[in-house]
Amino acid sequence: MAEKPNQVSKKILDRQRGRGIRLCKKCGTTRGLIRKYGICLCRRCFRESGEDLGFFKYH
């Protein structure tokens, strides 16, 4: 029997999408993520630990 058009297949329900799947490695928030170079830190955690990673601020 074919699926009804209103039913969503189980494969689609298991897959997550959007911003919710990407989390900060340090605090776990989904907001303000810096994903460049595979850092995956939120902006607040990046300010705390950016110098340890080799980044520095210009004055």
Give me the DSSP letters along 4-47.
PTTPPPHHHHHS--GGGG---TTT---SSEE-GGG--EEHHHHH
CATH number 4.10.830.10 given to 22-59: yes
Q: Phi and psi dihedrals of 32, rounded to 5?
A: 65, 40
| Ordered per-residue pLDDT tens for the chain, 59 residues | 555 555 655 555 566 777 788 999 999 999 999 999 999 999 999 999 999 999 998 88
* CA 25 and chain centroid, separation: 9
Eight-class DSSP state of 53: T
The pLDDT of residue 55: 92
Give the pLDDT score at 1: 55
| Phi, psi angle pair for 21, to nearest 5° | -85, -15
